[in-house]
Structures are given as C-alpha cells and as structure tokens.
Amino acid sequence: MTRTDTADLTGRRIRVGLDVGGTKIDAVGVGPSGDILGRIRRSTGWGDDAVVESIVMAVTSLADEAGFPVSEIGSVGIGIPGLVDVEEGRVEHAVNLGVESLDLAARAERMLGIPFRVENDVKAAALGAAVLSGVAGSMAYLNLGTGVAAGIVVGGRIWRGSRGTAGEVGHLSVDPHGRLCGCGQLGCIETFCGGGALARAWGRPGALPIRDIFDAADAGDPDALVLRGDLFHGAAAAVRVLVLSADVETVVIGGGLTALGARLEEGIRTALRAEAETSPFMRSLHLDERIELLPAGSPAAAFGAALVGASVPEKSVPEKEIVPHG
C-alpha cells in the first residue's frame, strides 16, 4: 500500500461534498458530527469555465438552502470523473464535462476563499459508501454505470496503489475473443457489464436500454438473455478480482445500473454461486454473501467527497479575486 487518504470531521466546521457528473452535481453539507445538514442537486456546466462556475454556484446554493453561511464552510471536496491529480487539484480528460485539463481546486479556491480538494468520483464514492455502510475493515466499491470501475477502502482510507490505478477492474480482459473495448483490448470486464457497451451490443432504440434488456430477457428474447447473462458474468468477475487481489471483506455495488435493484443483485449472486460450483476454493470464499447494493438515492458519492475535503488541513487561501471596474 502506498498513498492513502483519511478524514476526521471531529471539531471541524461544515464540510461540503460535491459529486460532479456529466449532467448534474449532487451536493451535501456535513456537520462536525458527520450528520448531513442539507442536500441539493444542480445542473453541471460544459467546459472549463462553466464547470467551475457550476461548482461554485452549487456550494453557495447549498449554503443558502440549508441555512448556514458560506463562512462556516471549512472545506469543499469534489468527486469528478477523469484523471485526477490529487496533490495539484487538477482534473484531466473529463470528456463528459468538456474538460481537457483544469486546475479545478485552485480556481474554485480563488472564487470562494475556501480550501478545495479534488478526487476521482469512484474513489470518493468508495470512501462515502464505506462510512455509510458501517464497514470497519476492508471494502471495495464497484461502480456499474456507463463504464465499470472500483475504489478500494482499507481501514477508512482510500487505497490508490503505486500509480493510482488500484481498482480499475473494468479494463481487465477476461475473454481474449470478446467484444472490443474502448481501451483497445478485447473482452474487458467493462464490455460485459458496462452500461455503454451493453447498450451498443443491444442496438435497439430506447431511453433505458439496460432495463429494456432485462424486460426482454424476462419475455424470452434470446439476444437479451445473452446480454443479461453477460452482465451477471462480468459483474461476478469484477467481484472475484476485487476479493482475490485486494482481499476485501465486502464489495458494495453502486452506479446507475443499481436502479435495477433485486433483479441485478440476485443475478450477480446466482452467477457467483454457479461459477464457483466446480472449485472448493472459490466456494469457501462465499462471494455471493459478500456483496451488497448501495441503496437507491444514496448520497455516498457526495458524502465521500466531503470526507475527502475534510482531509485538507486548515490553511489560508488567496482572498476572493476582485475584478476592478474601469
């Protein structure tokens, strides 16, 4: 284990956490005792300037609606997709936000005068899920959304690995003859259980393609049955990888696909049991008993971002930038 992060809210002021997605920002305010003081959702901007402005507006709107002054905010943590340089507060290649390279923390700090910290969204969600789920030991958070990724938390700390890629299970190839992945490999786990890959393989119109696949599979559609089986197989493979490589006790599953609820959870459990039948070793791990779904509407991602922000030591930041009028 190399670099880790932890957070302690005891005795500190209000911490704000933002989960920044391609279309919305989920924002929470967290009090010194860890209770959620308020929660709002706001639209996300497109491009560098609009992203920064929407983040600042989310913070100030949250303070207004929750009834606390901005001056009581001790830190802001941001969970955001893309490649994140945690030390510099920079995000790169956040393609769904129109961001190529953005010094997000520095720009937001200048506008609000509050310490900011930026983290990859899945890693922030992992930390939040660990706390909200009451996991005291080791846990992996498996995000099943448009893509597939995971974050690993050990003893309340994010485990990054030597180069920050710990948990990138979506791009582990499990079938060299499988579908082409966006990363260039064949048969990655993401091609089996990523929502984007499944929607492309399904190829039929519809606003909710994964739900359509499940409904069609229930009706006996052969193509849908194959794709639903692929999803269960890929998610089960991700769970096995996380347990066998990091020896986590629990795998909490989140992301957009968890809207399927018990239909998803029971399918993954059944796949884990079936694929362990021929192996006494795998049966001994009881993987089907070590997964749980994050509850619908959980604030885990934004809450985890608040915890990430809380790991920032109190420090002075530049005064809010004032542009003179000529």
Tens of pLDDT along 73-93?
A: 999 999 999 889 999 999 999
Same domain, 106 and 219: no
Is 326 contained in some domain?
A: no
Residue 188 DSSP label? B
Question: What residues make up the domain containing 194?
Answer: 135-293
Do residues 115 and 203 both lie within one domain? no
Residue pair 218/225 in contact by the 8 Å Cβ criterion: no
Cβ atoms of 121 and 79 within 8 Å: the answer is yes
Q: Residue 302: pLDDT above 50?
A: yes
What CATH number is given to the structural domain containing 198?
Answer: 3.30.420.40
Helix axes 48-66, 104-112, angle to 10 degrees: 50
CB-based contact 14:37 (threshold 8 Å): yes
pTM of the predicted model, to two decimals? 0.88
Residues 259 and 149 in one domain: yes
pLDDT band at 312 (very low <50, low <70, confident <90, very high): low
In this structure, are 42 and 96 located in the same domain?
A: yes
Residue type, 145: G
Asked if 86 and 143 sit in the same domain, the reply is no
Tokens of 239: 């769970």
In tens, the pLDDT along 6-61 reads: 444 444 489 999 999 989 999 999 999 899 999 999 999 999 999 999 999 999 99
53 & 160 share domain: no
- Domain membership flag for residue 324: no
130 part of a folded domain: no
**Same domain (yes/no): 41, 153:** no
Q: Give the count of domains, the chain.
A: 2
Average pLDDT of the segment spanning 206-230:
98
170 inside domain:
yes
Name the region of 47 (left: φ>0; alpha: ψ -120 to 50; beta: rest).
left
| Residue 112 in domain | yes
